[in-house]
Structure 1
């Protein structure tokens, strides 16, 4: 973004040297640098970088067209009108492409500032398109007409872009950073699952729902702990343990229902939140998860690591219950599964 505006500033400095420097600098190089500045602005947005290959080809093609046509209409067949025409066409296409992509593919969290930015680039594109209409009607470049309103409109458009786009970009990046920080606060960095804080909030929301709707299906939880995980780390190393945890999350998540929640709440311990699920259903799900873990293949480097888990299941009673009470019962059942020999489900 900074480089783009430096190029735009440099191009304008070269443009005002018309008559003081060789024609190559204000006419050919100045206009080409200005278009490249628009292209760099274009690629400063994540929405554009996600489509970098096709957009890069477009920007390179426009820059080549502008440079070669300005060389031709400066040194071979001098025509200021033709230079203005090709400049307006290329800038209109480049800024129009920016506007379209930002408007169509704006992320939900930054939709408002991104679409405001799209509107600014759309304005620049519209101004350049109106210059083409002017040329088609009057057969003369707008800047060759004394007091031309079109010239001042173009300058106003550039001023609006210079004043607003950096602010809108900063706004967008601030919102993205805030969203990223919130994501880090509520997710486990190793597995990408919810963390303890996040799953506790989800659980309390579900418990509140049960208080409001006593006839609703109960809430169940499954507390899952990998068996002999310390020995696994000692034998295969901590990178192997991290690999097992990451792989486990990718195995468990697809096997759950869309409204279930899976979290890593510490170490090798996971929690499955099962809304609208009675005890019998929860036990069936827990047993399915246990078998899934036992039969899965965990490979790390040249080793196949055997992994099993113990699971404790708890379901809310008919009377209201706190989250800590529900978790305490699930934890007690988990340790019961451990005492009974591991690799089993206990209720």
Structure 2
């Protein structure tokens, strides 16, 4: 396959990349990294269109390689910009503007004009640095769930950088290698083939990153309560089962703290459901400050919550529960000119040898919670110490 055919094919693949990323952007609720990658595809396509035009016209001017190579390097940078934006960083198009100007002006120097090999040797390190930046950014990401979607692009960028470096080293070792602008020498044809493969694969890599991100976002949404950001009952089942099995295997202590907002119905009736939602958010925010950052937090009912705690003593578990209660009690809700006192009743239960499943612990914590409500509210009750060991507790008077 000659160089001209590869250039035309690369222009088409670049246009397909731009169209694919643009369509995904429209269908993905504004993932702006897709716009960066659409720009990258468009730049790669234009770069090859310039090359095809030069090949068909049969003319050569110093501006042609300057324009083509500047656009080509900008295409690689746009891939980096998309990766940066996906990771929550600035795409830094100001750097691209400065880099493009420098690349264009360097093409107009006698050294660059005199030889295709000189231009390749000058700008190979620039492209390799961009490739390395993309691979490095993705490789250092701590998100283990998303990591599998990053690896194809990491491998692609490293391989592309590797072949660029090998070609540059070959040129240094073979000083008399004859290269011409848009020529079909093996060195250039192989480079054009690598570009075609790169454009074909990078489209799939970028799409994979976005699709994996959306999959994880949907999974998190399905496990998270929208009002509070705490985990929901579905997540409770999975995490509690995991921690229960581990505690049984290792002998590590395991506790459930359950609590709900006292007199929540009267808050809703008096101030409205909007204020009730604000009260729920306030209590969960305060509770999160009282708890450890790695404790699993769940909203399991309208105003009822649960916390899964492991690796502490019974005394420490009770101290955590008391700290939670005290912090809520000391922090009223201020909203719409009203000051609303908030308190919570708290139940605490530990894993016991007779427990057959994690639900047994949660049930006892729930019983202790309702015992706290029946005996005055705004207090902590520990199953077996403060609360009776009953499978069923009369809760009719505690729900008000």
Instruction: Tell me the TM-score range normalised by the shorter chain.
Output: 0.7 to 0.9
CA distance in 2, matches of 1:329, 1:337: 12
Describe the shift of the 1:156–1:146 C-alpha distance in structure 2 as closer, same or farther (beyond 3 A).
Answer: closer
How many Å separate the matches in 2 of 1:92 and 1:205? 45
For residues 53-82 of structure 1, the C-alpha deviation after alignment (integer angstroms, 9 at most, x for no partner) is 6x5443332211122233x359x9954545
Give the 3-state SS of the residue equivalent to 1:314 in structure 2.
Answer: strand
Give the length in aligned residue pairs. 342
Residue matched to 2:76: 38
Contact conserved, 1:92 with 1:125, CA < 8 A, in 2?
yes
* Residues in 1 aligned to 2:144 and 2:249: alpha-carbon distance in whole angstroms: 31
Decide which of 212, 219, 225 is 1:175's aligned counterpart: 212
Q: How far apart, CA to CA, are the structure 2 residues paired with 1:62 and 1:192? A: 42
User: What is the aligned partner in structure 1 of residue 202 from structure 2?
Assistant: 165
| Distance in 2 of aligned mates of 1:335 and 1:265 | 15
TM-score, length of structure 1 as denominator length: 0.81
Specify the alignment match of 2:193 in structure 1: 156
Q: Return closer, same or farther for 1:107/1:140 CA change in 2, 3 Å cut-off.
A: farther
Q: Match of 1:94?
A: 130
Kept after mapping to 1: 8 A contact 2:255/2:309: yes
Aligned to 1:314: 349
CA distance in 1, matches of 2:142, 2:255: 38
2:276 is the counterpart of 1:241: yes
SS at match of 2:53: coil
Q: In 2 relative to 1, CA 85–236 (structure 1 residues): closer, same or farther, beyond 3 Å?
A: farther
List per-residue Cα deviations over 1:73-132 (Å, max 9, x = no partner).
Answer: 59x995454544444343333333223323333742233442332232233334444454
Alignment correspondent of 2:12? none
Partner of 2:380: 345
Distance 1:206 1:77, change over 3 A: closer
In 2: Cα distance, 1:339 partner to 1:261 partner: 27
Q: Deviations over 1:173-230 (max 9, x none)?
A: 33333322222222222322221222233333444456556xx465432220111223
Whether the 8 Å CA contact 1:69–1:83 is kept in 2: the answer is no
Q: How does 1:39-188 map to 2 (within 5 A)?
A: 39-46=77-84, 49-52=87-90, 55-70=92-107, 72-73=108-109, 78-81=113-116, 83-105=119-141, 107-133=143-169, 136=172, 138=175, 142-143=179-180, 148-188=185-225
Pick closer, same or farther for the CA change 1:337–1:248 going to 2, 3 Å: same
Q: Show CA shifts across 1:212-252 (max 9, x none).
A: 56xx4654322201112233344444444334333433332
Check the 8 A contact 2:149/2:212 in 1, yes or no.
Answer: no
Two-structure CA RMSD over aligned residues (Å): 3.5
Q: Deviations over 1:129-166 (max 9, x none)?
A: 44544554526673469763321331222122122222
1:120 to 1:142, Cα distance in 2 relative to 1, 3 A: farther
Q: Which among 211, 223, 227 is matched to residue 190 of structure 1?
A: 227
Q: Are 2:55 and 1:2 aligned?
A: no
Residue 330 of structure 1 aligns with which residue?
A: 365
TM-score of the two chains, using structure 2 as the length reference: 0.72
- Given that 2:106 and 2:112 are in contact with CA atoms closer than 8 Å, whether structure 1 keeps it comes out as no
Give the 5 Å matches for 1:262-273.
262-273=297-308
Correspondent of 1:295 among 323, 327, 330: 330
Structure 1 position 28 matched with structure 2 position 69: no
Q: Which residues of structure 2 form unaligned runs of 5+? A: 1-36, 382-386, 388-400
